[in-house]
Structure 1
Amino acid sequence: MKAASVISFEFFPPKTAEGIAKLRAAREQLAVFAPKFFSVTFGAGGSTRDRTMETVLDIHEQGYEAAPHLSCISADKEEIRQLLKQYQEKGIKRLVALRGDIPSGEVSAGDFRYASELVEFIRAETGDWFQIEVAAYPEFHPESTSPTSDLKYFKRKVDAGANAAITQYFYNADAYFQFLDQAEKLGVSIPIVPGVMPIYNFTQLARFSSVCGAEIPRWLRLRLQDYGDDLASMRAFGADVMVDLCEQLLAGGAPGLHFYTLNQAGIISGILDQLGLDKH
C-alpha cells in the first residue's frame, strides 16, 4: 500500500563528534523518504538547549525543514522570548511546543505551568510565524487524573493556537482512533499525527514506556521477552508489528506518521520500504 506523504522524524541532539556523524548519516538515509520535517528534542529543564539549536541549524542549513522542541518547564518568559527570536532570525518556521518534564530535584516550574500557556506566549510574541506542533496522548498522559481531564488539557493547547499534534507512541491502533473520535467531539479539527516508536530493544522500550505511560500489550510484551538475547530476530518481529500498525493507521485515515528514531535509520527505512513509500 502507499504510505501517507506526510512523514516526519524525531532526533535527539548528539553529545559527541561521533554522535554528530552518526546522526548526519541517519538523516541522509531517511531524507530519501522526503519527510515534511525533522524534529529535535529538548532536554529536561532545557538541559540540551545549545545542542538542540546546533542540531536544528545543521539540519536547516542542509536544506531540510527542522522543528526544534521547545520545553517551558523551568524556563522564564525572557529565555523563551530569546529562543524564539533566534529561531526567527535563522528562518526556522516550525516548533514542537511541550510542557516538558521537571528535572529531578527541582521544585520551581518557571513562568509556565502548561504547554497551552507556552503556545499562547509563542502566538503573542510571534503571531503566525511558526507552525506549532503539540503533544497528544491516546493512552493519556501519565499525570492526568482522567481521560476527560486529559482531553480538556489537549483542547486548551489547540485553542491556544496549535496547528497540529503529534501523539505519544502506542501499539494499539484502537487507542488512537478512539482519541480522534473524542477530540473531534470536543471540536478539535487539527491534524493529529500518530507517533511511531520502532522496537529496537525490549529492555529500553519497557523503561521508556513505564515513564511515559505508553502501554505495551501483554501479547507483544511476552513475544518480545521470549526472544531473549536474540536481538536480530526480535527486531525483525518488531518491524513486522510496526508495519502492521502503520498500515492500520494509514488505512484508517491517519494524516501521516512521525517516527521516534533514537538517531537510527535502518529499522525505519525497512518499515517504510515495506509500506511502499516512494523514495526521492
Structure 2
Amino acid sequence: MNVNHPSLSFEVFPPNTAAGTANIKETLDRLQALNPNFISVTCSNNKSNIEETTLKLAGYINNTLKVPAIAHLPAAYLNTQQVTRILTELDSLHIHQLLALRGDIIPEVPRKDDFKYASDLIRFVHAQKPGFKISGACYPEIHPESPDLVSDIRYLKQKVDAGCNQLITQLFFDNDRFFTFKENCALAGIKVPIIAGIMPITNRKQALRLIKTTSAHLPKKFLAIFDKYEHDPASLRTAGLAYAVDQIVDLITRGAAGIHLYTMNHAETAINIQNTIGSLFNSSAQLNN
C-alpha cells in the first residue's frame, strides 16, 4: 500500500424492501463512479440467507459494476458446511475477498456451534482457500465484550495469526484513540494494514441513535455540533460532513492505511467527501480480484 495514497472504500447492506433494492442499485452506480478500492456488503438480519442477500449483492458489485467486492461472513451464524458452500459460490462469482466477523449476537437468531470466534472462521477459510484475502474487524476503543485492553489486542493478534490480511475498524470519532490503538497493535506484532472505519453523521435521527447506543467516545467538538444544530437539518448536515472531512484528512496525514466509509446505503456523503478531498486517495482499486 502506498502510504501517500491510501485506499478509499465503502460499506453497504442488503436491502429488505423493493424500494430499498431500487435505491441500492442507484447508490452503487454513483459509488462506482468514485473508483473505490472495494465495496463491502454486510449481512442482513436473516443471517441464514447470506447467499440470497450478501452474495447476490456482492456479485452485482463485482461482476456488473466491476468494483472489487468483499462479502461479510458472521462466524456465529454459520457452520462448516455453509461456509464451504459459500466459498464455492464466491469462487463462482470471482470474488476472492471476505470480511470474517463473529457477528452481533441477536437473541432471536439461533447461533451455530462450529465457529465460536471470528478467528475460528478465519483459520477455516485460510485453510480451505489460502488464496483468499481475509479482512477482520477491530475496535479502536476495545470490543465491548473484552475484559481489558491487553485481552482485546491478544484476541486481535490471534485473528491475524489465523490468516487475516487486513483490519477494518468499527466507527470512531476520536482520532487520537485510533492512533493509540494502532501503536498498541504494532507493539503486539500486528503488522497488517489497519483501515479506519468512518461514519459521517449528517442528520438528527442518526446522531440521536449514535449518542444512545454507541460505545465510541464522542469528543466535545462532535457533541457541540449536535447541540448547536440539532434542530437545523441543513447546518447539521454541513457541520457533520465537515467534521468527517477533518477527521479523514487527519487520519490520512498521520498514516492511516485507508478510509472505509459506512454509507448507510446513501451515496451523497461519499460523493461530497470525494469532491472535497478525493485527490488524497488512490484513483483506482489496489486490491486484486
TM-score by length of 1: 0.92
In 1, Cα distance between equivalents of 2:121 and 2:213: 23
- The corresponding residue for 1:12 is 13
Tell me which amino acid in the other structure corresponds to 1:121: F
- Paired position in structure 2 for 1:265: 267
Aligned to 2:70: 67
**Take 1:192 and 1:91, find their aligned partners in 2: how far apart are those partners?**
25
- Distance in 2 separating the partners of 1:197 and 1:110: 32
Alpha-carbon deviation of 1:32? Answer: 2.3
Which residue in 2 is equivalent to 1:92? 95
Residues 206/147 of structure 1: CA separation in 2 closer, same or farther (3 Å cut): farther
In structure 2, the residue matched to 1:77 is 80
Kindly, what percent of the aligned residue pairs are identical?
A: 35
Q: Which residue of 1 aligns with 2:287?
A: none
Question: Distance in 2 between the 1:18 and 1:80 partners?
Answer: 30
Counterparts of 1:108-119 in structure 2, within 5 Å, are 108-119=111-122
Q: Distance in 2 between matches of 1:87 and 1:276?
A: 30
Q: Secondary structure at the match of 1:135?
A: strand
* Match in the other structure for 2:105: 102
Deviation at 1:45, TM superposition (A): 6.3
Q: Secondary structure in 2 aligned to 1:138?
A: coil
Kept after mapping to 2: 8 A contact 1:45/1:75 = no
Match of 1:43 in 2: 44
Which 5+ residue runs of structure 2 have no aligned equivalent?
285-289
1:240 maps to a residue whose letter is A
User: Does 1:166 pair with 2:168?
Assistant: yes
For residue 125 of structure 1, the aligned residue among 128, 141, 144 is: 128
CA deviations 1:221-271 (Å, max 9, x no partner) are: 242133223211101000111111001000001111110000111122112
> In the alignment, is the contact (CA less than 8 A) between 2:204 and 2:231 conserved in 1?
no
Q: Which runs of 5+ in 1 are unaligned?
A: none
Deviates more, 1:20-29 or 1:245-254: 20-29
Deviations 1:126-155 (A, max 9, x none): 122x11110011111111111111111111
Question: In 2, are the aligned partners of 1:142 and 1:212 still within 8 Å (CA)?
Answer: no
Cα distance in 1 for partners of 2:182, 2:93 equals 35
One-letter identity of the residue aligned with 2:32 = A
| Contact preservation (8 Å) 1:4, 1:257 | no
SS of the residue corresponding to residue 73 of structure 1 reads helix
Deviation at 1:17, TM superposition (A): 2.9
Q: Which amino acid aligns with 2:154?
A: K
| Count, aligned residues | 278
For 1:275, give the aligned amino acid: I
TM-score, normalised to structure 2's length? 0.89
Give the 3-state SS of the residue equivalent to 2:119 in structure 1.
helix
Q: Write the distance in 2 (CA, Å) between the matches of 1:108 and 1:256.
A: 33
- Give 4+ residue runs of structure 1 displaced > 6 Å after superposition: none
* Inter-partner Cα distance in structure 1 for 2:84 and 2:214: 28
CA contact (8 A) 1:95 1:131 kept: yes
For residues 215 and 268 of structure 1, the distance between their equivalents in structure 2, rounded to whole angstroms, comes to 23
C-alpha contact (below 8 Å) 1:45/1:102 kept by paired residues: no
> Do the aligned residues in 1 keep the contact of 2:202 with 2:238 (CA within 8 Å)?
no
Cα RMSD of the aligned pairs, angstroms, is 2.1
